[in-house]
Amino acid sequence: MKKLFLDSDVLLDLLLDREPFSEDIAELIEESIESDIKLYTSPISISNINCIIERLENKNKADSKTKKVLKIVSIENVGQKVIDRASNSRFKDFEDSIQNYCAVESGHKMIITRNTKDYRESDLSIFTPKEYLAKLQSE
């Protein structure tokens, strides 16, 4: 089984239908349903998604879309060790650092994000949805 850790930006692309990016993440999710790929994210992503959608749309839509995400992804834990590692890292953005160390502590080998430059400090493999889909095609 392949485990993919999804950053909140790609989930927001899907839920807000942000073109042209929503097509790639939708295809990746379809691929996960039809194969042995399991999708994960952090509780921070879920919180961010809900907050951003509520601000852009409304609370009911935010809650509804959050529930949709929870049907397709599993949530990894963020605990003291993740926060300690994130706070002592060289990441420019604290949230990205938390996402990275959540993925690391949960045994992930890669993160799927549209903002690959935000993960320059990561030791994980970082792909956009489009890049990961191309990698799947070549395997």
Helical segments of 35-93, H only: 43-56, 59-72, 80-87
The model's confidence at residue 138, banded by pLDDT at 50, 70 and 90, is confident
Structure tokens at 36: 């042995």
pLDDT 10s digits, 112-124 = 999 999 999 999 9
Domains of the chain (ranges; CATH) run 2-138 (3.40.50.1010)
The model's confidence at residue 139, banded by pLDDT at 50, 70 and 90, is confident
Handedness of CA 41, 44, 46, 51 (dihedral sign): negative
52-77 mean pLDDT? 96
99-121 mean pLDDT? 96
Write out the E strands in 1-139. 2-6, 37-41, 74-75, 110-112, 125-127
In the chain, the percentage of residues whose pLDDT exceeds 70 is 100
The pTM of this model reads: 0.93
